[in-house]
Chain A
Amino acid sequence: SQKIEQNSEALNIQEGKTATLTCNYTNYSPAYLQWYRQDPGRGPVFLLLIRENEKEKRKERLKVTFDTTLKQSLFHITASQPADSATYLCALAVGSARQLTFGSGTQLTVLP
């Protein structure tokens, strides 16, 4: 069966440290993978997109890697801040219409 798993439901780290979130998938062949941030009671906000032929993407303090052999994406936030606290969702683009299939999310808390 097809599955998207994010490493843990909740992750607590100390301010200034690097947060690393994991997204693993099985039985999908996504054209690309995206990461979103979602705050409570709000819609997801797009962060980064990485294609199947790309290994790494960066945007300011964010870095995403994509390993299609391992079927895994890692999402890093460097120099984390309490304002980074949110739920982070990975999403795979599948199908001819590139519909997004979401993982269950990881709730990140950055402690001051």
Chain B
Amino acid sequence: GAVVSQHPSRVICKSGTSVKIECRSLDFQATTMFWYRQFPKQSLMLMATSNEGSKATYEQGVEKDKFLINHASLTLSTLTVTSAHPEDSSFYICSARDPRGPGETQYFGPGTRLLVL
């Protein structure tokens, strides 16, 4: 199947700093990528839909000024957590649609564990 990578896999930062997470589709071009957040023992919650060359669409309750999304190319989307606070500590996962296959299938990255001290 298609491969999606994320970098870094885990990051520890101080409160007030900004953290950038990269999501790459390695063997296909993804016009649409998605960003999710998952807290312990909970399911994935969609944060935003990232479309190449246009502004991201954020889900209700997700602050667009806090979670900056940039989908600058067909293989790369970035999520920047600005002025991170301990409550932002979570598991962040991206996914991408592979247009070569059934368009509905999303391939997920391995996730990024963020810990804000």
Q: Mark A residues whose CB is within 8 Å of B.
A: 31-32, 34, 36, 41-46, 49, 89, 93, 97-105
When chains A and B are docked, how far (Å) is the Cα of A100 from the Cα of B49?
10
B9 to A, closest residue via Cβ: A41
Chain B interface residue bracket vs A = 20 to 34
CB distance from B66 to the nearest CB of A (A): 20
> Which residues of chain B come closer than 8 Å to A43, judged between CB atoms?
4, 6, 93, 95, 108-111
Binary interface encoding of chain B residues 77-117 relative to chain A, with 1 for a CB under 8 A from any of its CBs, else 0: 00000000000000101010000001111111111010000
CB distance from A50 to the nearest CB of B (A): 11
Tell me if A's interface is mostly helix, strand, loop or mixed: strand
Is A97 touching B104 in the complex (CB atoms < 8 A)? no
When chains A and B are docked, how far (Å) is the Cα of A69 from the Cα of B17?
50
> Which residues of chain B come closer than 8 Å to A93, judged between CB atoms?
104
Most chain A beta carbons < 10 A, residue from B57, B106, B111: B106
Is B32 touching A102 in the complex (CB atoms < 8 A)? no
Known: A41-B113, A97-B57, A100-B34. A105 touches B107 (CB 8 A): no
**Does chain A have a CB within 8 A of B60?**
no
> Which residues of chain A come closer than 8 Å to B46, judged between CB atoms?
99-101
CB distance from B23 to the nearest CB of A (A): 10
